[in-house]
Amino acid sequence: MTNHKNKRFFLLFFILIVFSLFACYDLVHVLTFPNNVRVFENERQPIDVNFPFKVSTLQEENEFLKIQKTNYASTYVNPLKRGRTNLELNFLGLIPIKKVTVNIIPKLQVIPGGQCIGVKLSTKGVLVVGTEDIKGIDGKKYNPSHEAGIAIGDTILEIQDERVKDSQHVISVINDNKGKSLKLKVKRKNRTFNTSITPVQTYEERDYKIGLWVRDKTAGVGTLTFYEPNSKVFGALGHAITDIDTGLLLTVEKGEVIKSKVASIKQGKRGKPGEIKGIFYDTTRPIGKLEYNTRFGIYGHLYKPMDDSIYSKPIEVAGQHEIQVGKASILTTIENNTVKEYEVYIEKISKQRSSSTKGMVIKVTDKRLLKKTGGIVQGMSGSPIIQNGKLIGAVTHVFVNDPTKGYGIFIEWMIDKAQIQSYESKLARRGCP
């Protein structure tokens, strides 16, 4: 009898331990839940919160949304009308844990792209991509940048209290001051600091240098993902434009989107990613203005609608909860400057609470695309992914060891970064049509 009681005790103790572990895991899950979420009007959406935690509205009669439970104990929010309201995540419906603000926005429609575009970007200030020792006129070696505390990846914003325009501007100021100490304003990641640097007259050229290699602009080709027809706000690439040497995200001072066409294609092979090589044309008439360069794509606004899309009318954007493993398609341009639709298969979906470029794994199944490119190649980044007539995401990266596969970003993250609602509000305030 005693042994039987001991077994029951240990079984209950084990169950309690397991329950506690799951509760602790779920508590972390709830604590890390986003403070703000966006949902589409009149579209039911799951909330990723499990027992023993519950979701509730702070008002008994909430005019903006209702909480729904299914037979499988899943929790959904059912948005009723546009606006903002709050939810509470609590333990067993009794102990408040976290408040979440819910923004209910209209269901957005955009025109998917697929066009090959050229991008020209000038940075804010100049980016330091290298440093070097200088042989001075006295034959000794100097490193002014090291003494000034400047490192690779820093951005020089001002020199002598004047905003830096480009690398040539830096060179002219250095030589105009003939070896005098110069004041610099420098940005390192999210921190800005001031320093001074003294140029050194070189042994060979007899000019003045500070021992820095800098870059102020870049250019390349990619693929347009979408544009919103009313505001003309566009999104492209699905990932950041980074410096080729440092890998750092480039900040935009000014930028343009230009018509581009495919010049040649290097087919992708295992271990060797392929590449679309494009050329700019009609550079005197850019098709849009580049305004933001983010980890999740580039954004700006077009000067006029694109007239070479497969989709002449807008289609809905889908939330990640609508995406399914299975058949889909991508829009991209690989020849004749023409957007075409190609079959792909979504193999994996990684549900995300916050922005990331790797939400889906896709596999190219279209024989035409495989024959031409070998799968996904550089330059196809930003190609829109369509499923069930909705825009669900964009191609971002290729698998180096399997070019038939790659990652896709959820379109909701790109829509969020595009700030379409903010731009439309700005236009309305200006009285623009």
- Give the active site residue among 239, 260, 309, 329: 239
As a whole number of angstroms, the distance between CA 293 and CA 74 comes to 37
HSE (side-chain half, CA atoms, 13 Å) at 188? 8
As a whole number of angstroms, the distance between CA 185 and CA 162 comes to 9
As a whole number of angstroms, the distance between CA 105 and CA 84 comes to 9
**3-state secondary structure at position 374:** coil
34 near 100, Cβ under 8 Å? yes
As a whole number of angstroms, the distance between CA 105 and CA 1 comes to 64
Structure tokens at 169: 């501007």
Q: Is 366 a catalytic residue?
A: yes
Q: Is 381 a catalytic residue?
A: yes
Q: Residues 6 or more apart from 157 whose CB is under 8 A from it? A: 124, 125, 163, 164, 185, 186, 187, 192
- Give the active site residue among 26, 366, 402, 416: 366
* The Cα angle at residue 397 between residues 395 and 400, in degrees rounded to 5: 140
The radius of gyration of the chain's CA atoms, rounded to the nearest angstrom, is: 27
385 near 392, Cβ under 8 Å? yes
Residue reference for tokens 């790797």: 358
Q: Residues 6 or more apart from 181 whose CB is under 8 A from it? A: 196, 197, 198
Residues in the chain: 433
- Give the active site residue among 167, 260, 309, 381: 381
Instruction: Report which of 330, 343, 328 is spatially closest to residue 115, judged by C-alpha positions.
Output: 330
323 near 329, Cβ under 8 Å? no
HSE (side-chain half, CA atoms, 13 Å) at 44? 8
Q: Residues 6 or more apart from 432 whose CB is under 8 A from it? A: none
Instruction: Report which of 316, 325, 259, 314 is spatially closest to residue 286, judged by C-alpha positions.
Output: 259
Amino acid at 336: N
Positions marked catalytic:
239, 366, 381
